[in-house]
Amino acid sequence: MIHPAIVVALSYLIGSIPSAYLAGKLTRGIDLREHGSGNLGATNVYRVLGAQLAIVVLLADALKGAIPVLVFPGLTATSRPDLWAIAFGTAAIAGHVRSVFLLWRGGGKGVATAAGAFLALAPIPSLIALAIFAAVLFAWGWVSLGSLSAATALPIAIAARDGVRSPLFLVSAVVAVFVFWTHRANIARLRRGEEPRFGKKSTE
């Protein structure tokens, strides 16, 4: 069995794999941080590289969160694998946002990786949050607003199921605040009416 602290570090490394960056480099030889919105997430991949690669990056980023939660607790000998599963998922999210492979600069905003982690940790509340994301995106066309709405809905759904004393609720609330922080530029653009809607591709 592996010490849980080592597995936390491994989860962070897996989360750090820069899927969007690799997609840009391997398919067009570009650094996506210099194109479109500059964000290393599936939305920017869609706008710059197209829908097919965006789907691949979205799934890869979600798996970075889900695999540590689903697989890694079995690698450790602990009395609380549920708590360590939360720690592993959180480490993967942190790795996505601040990738060691990119020298902690220019990562994604953590939404897809968080979605993968929480789908593994709390499937029903996560599906509720994803449904809200889809509804907001369909109604208004802003991915950022859908992400912020889902981030808000997830801890509410977990609290309704498990109560506010649940460790998972506390972590989901922290992650929600974190998502709002990574979307602060989007929030500013939404307030100014300058946020691009989904489907508008980059001309680069």
**Where along the chain do its domains lie?**
1-110, 122-197
Least confident segment among 62-76, 99-113, 176-190 = 99-113
10 half-sphere exposure, CB direction, 13 A CA radius: 16
pLDDT at residue number 204:
44
Helix/strand/coil for 184 = helix
Q: Is 193 left (phi over 0), alpha (psi -120 to 50) or beta?
A: left
Q: Which of the four pLDDT bands, split at 50, 70 and 90, describes residue 88?
A: very high
Angle 183-188-192 from CA coordinates, rounded to 5°: 145
Q: Average model confidence (pLDDT) for the chain? A: 91
pLDDT band at 201 (very low <50, low <70, confident <90, very high): low
pLDDT value, residue 203: 41
Q: Note the pTM of the prediction, 2 decimals.
A: 0.88
Average pLDDT over residues 34-62: 92
Residue 199's pLDDT band (cuts 50, 70, 90): low
